């Protein structure tokens, strides 16, 4: 198939628009909320190092693979996989990979939206001066009381889901492109302000040491799996989000270059968030391993004490909400695109149904922080379970098969055409990584965690 196909859903207006959208998808709660708390739970430096290795050796090659497969297929991940498999003369059951992605996105969004709701409510808490001059105890109580209230969590979760679906309804170029153009740079600037504050605490060096001094005795097979899972999560890989964004990418935009930019920006934001947060943690004698509440229990202390904290705090949480929004839309876009393609429904209807289903499942996460906090399956609450299942299992499995498909199944000629680099050392390196290194790494991490290897 050599004719240039276009997606029926539209196209990004430029290379820059794609970079913004993909960076918008990658940079989100994963960087600012999740990365610091899992780094805290897994002992710091060594975990960060494993995460960075995973980004370089697994993440970037798979990001390139997903983007080029999307642009080649030009449809929702399910239909893209089907048509790519057909082109390669391979079995059409490859389209199940698209299905796993749609389901994974739906599961992730269900809890992502609840946490984004927390950030939304913190915009108003900050604005109303709830943090002003307050110390550790008050801020912790504020957070505990908040998550203990199902009604409040449902309210904000509903609001965030509505905002997400509202953007998705407008389609590819409509609201989103415009919003991220301004929001992503502002978020970056505000993070620098926070890093500035962190530098002014006496625990700055301690925070840096925690993040960058690897102590390998602190990690085990499970931390390695968490680090790898997070590399997928933070780069939005393994479920078709980047594939569907790739399907809206104009021809002749360099996929390798854009992938480096997106992964670089994403990593920078995560590291900056860590550098901003850990000094505050140590300066206030907080536990780095206190879990999902970490940023909600630390940053408000800083905002409460710094000059202009009311404004900075409010702005920070606003930007966090927008970072979450530009991620959440990519979690549901594969499902919406598929509904429109295969069920002949309008974008509007597709959004309504997909949004309602996600909202409903999100209630499970809401209750896992209060009414059902004692209900555990495999020793995990509903939220923990969803997070573990998606980030540590489904995304790496999805990514593994993306790598295998791009490296072994797809016609070499096709990937060369998409990357526009036939006889290039870069192409050779990418192909080597995607054929051998990335799949083997995912596989070894899994083996290690079930105890077959002992690292």
**Which residues sit at the interface with ligand TRP, rule CB under 6 A?**
25-26, 28-31, 108, 233-234, 236, 239, 241, 327, 330-331, 395
Residue 63 CB, shortest distance to ligand TRP, in Å, is 11
Instruction: State which residue, 309 or 398, has the beta carbon closest to ligand TRP.
Output: 398
Instruction: State which residue, 108 or 286, has the beta carbon closest to ligand TRP.
Output: 108
Residue 17 CB, shortest distance to ligand TRP, in Å, is 17
Could you give the CA distance from residue 208 to residue 225 in angstroms, rounded to a whole number?
23
Instruction: State which residue, 239 or 275, has the beta carbon closest to ligand TRP.
Output: 239
Instruction: State which residue, 118 or 204, has the beta carbon closest to ligand TRP.
Output: 118
Instruction: State which residue, 28 or 309, has the beta carbon closest to ligand TRP.
Output: 28
Residue 262 CB, shortest distance to ligand TRP, in Å, is 10
Residue 132 CB, shortest distance to ligand TRP, in Å, is 29
Residue 122 CB, shortest distance to ligand TRP, in Å, is 16
Instruction: State which residue, 41 or 134, has the beta carbon closest to ligand TRP.
Output: 41
The tokens describing 330, both together, are 């990519």
Residue 286 CB, shortest distance to ligand TRP, in Å, is 23
Could you give the CA distance from residue 304 to residue 313 in angstroms, rounded to a whole number?
8
| Nearest by Cα to 414 from 55, 128, 68, 41 | 68
Residue 26 CB, shortest distance to ligand TRP, in Å, is 5
Instruction: State which residue, 100 or 239, has the beta carbon closest to ligand TRP.
Output: 239
| Nearest by Cα to 387 from 407, 365, 369, 406 | 365
Residue 364 CB, shortest distance to ligand TRP, in Å, is 18
Instruction: State which residue, 139 or 329, has the beta carbon closest to ligand TRP.
Output: 329
Instruction: State which residue, 140 or 331, has the beta carbon closest to ligand TRP.
Output: 331
| CA 236 to chain centroid | 5
Residue nearest to ligand TRP (CB): 30
Instruction: State which residue, 115 or 363, has the beta carbon closest to ligand TRP.
Output: 115
The tokens describing 188, both together, are 């970056």
């Amino acid at each position: 198939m050599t004719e240039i196909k276009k997606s029926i859903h539209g196209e990004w207006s430029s290379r820059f628009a794609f970079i913004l959208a993909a960076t918008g998808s990658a940079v989100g709660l994963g960087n600012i909320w999740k990365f610091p708390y899992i780094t805290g739970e897994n002992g710091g430096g060594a975990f960060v190092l494993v995460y960075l290795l995973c980004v370089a050796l697994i993440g970037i090659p798979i990001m390139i693979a997903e983007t080029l497969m999307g642009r080649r297929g030009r449809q929702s991940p399910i239909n893209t996989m089907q048509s790519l498999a057909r082109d390669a003369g391979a079995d059409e059951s490859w389209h199940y990979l698209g299905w796993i992605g749609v389901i994974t996105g739906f599961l992730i969004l269900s809890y992502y939206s609840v946490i984004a709701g927390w950030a939304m409510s913190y915009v108003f808490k900050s604005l109303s001066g709830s943090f002003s001059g307050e110390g550790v105890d008050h801020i912790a109580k504020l957070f505990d009381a908040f998550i203990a209230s199902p009604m409040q969590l449902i309210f904000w979760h509903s609001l965030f889901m509505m905002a997400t679906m509202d953007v998705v309804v407008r389609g590819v170029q409509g609201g989103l492109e415009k919003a991220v153009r301004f929001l992503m740079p502002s978020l970056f600037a505000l993070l620098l302000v926070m890093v500035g504050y962190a530098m002014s605490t006496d625990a700055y060096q301690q925070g840096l040491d925690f993040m960058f001094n690897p102590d390998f005795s602190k990690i085990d097979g499970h931390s390695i799996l968490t680090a790898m899972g997070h590399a997928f999560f933070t780069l939005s890989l393994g479920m078709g989000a980047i594939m569907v964004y790739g399907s809206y990418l104009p021809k002749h935009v360099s996929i390798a270059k854009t992938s480096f930019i997106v992964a670089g920006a994403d990593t920078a934001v995560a590291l900056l968030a860590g550098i901003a947060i850990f000094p505050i943690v140590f300066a206030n004698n907080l536990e780095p391993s206190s879990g999902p509440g970490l940023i909600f229990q630390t940053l408000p202390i800083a905002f409460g004490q710094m000059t202009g904290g009311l404004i900075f705090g409010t702005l920070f949480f606003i930007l966090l909400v927008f970072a979450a929004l530009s991620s959440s839309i990519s979690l549901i876009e594969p499902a919406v695109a598929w509904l429109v393609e295969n069920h002949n429904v309008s974008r509007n209807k597709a959004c309504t149904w997909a949004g309602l289903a996600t909202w409903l499942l999100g209630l499970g996460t809401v209750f896992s922080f209060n009414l059902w906090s004692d209900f555990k399956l495999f020793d995990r609450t509903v939220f923990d379970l969803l997070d573990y299942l998606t980030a540590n299992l489904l995304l790496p499995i999805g990514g593994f098969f993306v790598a295998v498909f791009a490296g072994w199944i797809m016609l070499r000629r096709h990937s060369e055409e998409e990357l526009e680099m036939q006889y290039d050392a870069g192409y050779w390196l990418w192909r080597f990584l995607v054929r051998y290194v990335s799949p083997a790494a995912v596989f070894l991490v899994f083996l290690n965690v079930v105890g077959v290897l002992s690292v």
